[in-house]
Amino acid sequence: MKIGFIGLGNMGAPMAANLVKAGHEVTGFDLVAPCPEGVSKADSAADAAAGQEVVITMLPNGDILRSVAAEIIPAMDKGALFLDCSTVDVESARAVAHDAEAAGLLAADAPVSGGIGGAQAGTLTFMAGGSDAAFEKARPLFDIMGQKAVHCGPSGNGQAAKICNNMILGATMLVTCEAFALADKLGLDRQKMFDVVSTSSGYSWTMNAYTPAPGVGATSPADNDYKPGFAAELMLKDLRLSQQAAEAADAETPIGARATELYRQFVESEGGKGMDFSAVLPWLAGKSRG
């Protein structure tokens, strides 16, 4: 396929590179980041989108997505697919899909899970919203960039799935870190706690696959001075999106709201910016109840 790729940051660049390795012709655009090897550089987002069968976007937020969409939709050929892989608010995803479909395009929102490592390895999970036709056109690209793609329903539902998943992830990481910090103060060895919890009813992805305690359980950013696999500020962004969605849907999410506030405190006031989202463990371990 001829593919335009807009947004070549830490996630977009390896995704585009994997498409090139699979034999696709990729034209890229980013305001700051360079194009990865094999990706042709366009002078603007509209130039990257013109004449392409698929245009993929990987952008920081809904406002930027709406701005880029306004630029590229008029440049795209009718019948082409606008595939947005950004993590943004549900309302922006649905508004952009509406505008794309009104212009005769296929549209899908397909945020990802798997982080930078998954983008590099081509093992991402895609949560897609959009029509059956849009999903089927995107499917061979999902197979290259990821290991799983789930069609979650109409436009915006991919974002809804991502937001719900990451609300669970953020809250679960917090309580996993709280448990390690409590174990410390109770005189319980972290390894012993892990050995029990990882095979008991406290089992979770954050405990077993992304253990926040260095030297315990799975190798994770905790074993690399908490350098980000998934940055705390990105978790805060996703938790804020969950609360924005909850407010719009009139859904009560008290634990999600508290998780959002704790990550806000950690990132904005307690030195968490630039750290992995599991670095709440040393932060919590250094606090007292008062």
Catalytic site residues?
A: 162
In the Cβ-directed half-sphere of 55, how many Cα atoms lie within 13 Å? 32
The two tokens of residue 26 are: 């990729």
- Phi and psi at 83, nearest 5°, equal -110, 105
* Residues 6+ positions from 213 with CB-CB distance below 8 Å: 180, 190, 194, 222, 281
The CA angle 193-169-12, to the nearest 5 degrees, is: 125
Task: Name the helix (H) or strand (E) containing 147.
Answer: strand 146-153
Spatial separation of the C-alpha atoms in residues 100 and 92, rounded to whole Å: 12
> Which stretches within 106-231 are classed as H helix?
115-121, 132-145, 157-186, 190-197, 205-208
Spatial separation of the C-alpha atoms in residues 60 and 30, rounded to whole Å: 12
In single-letter form, the type of residue at position 130 comes to G
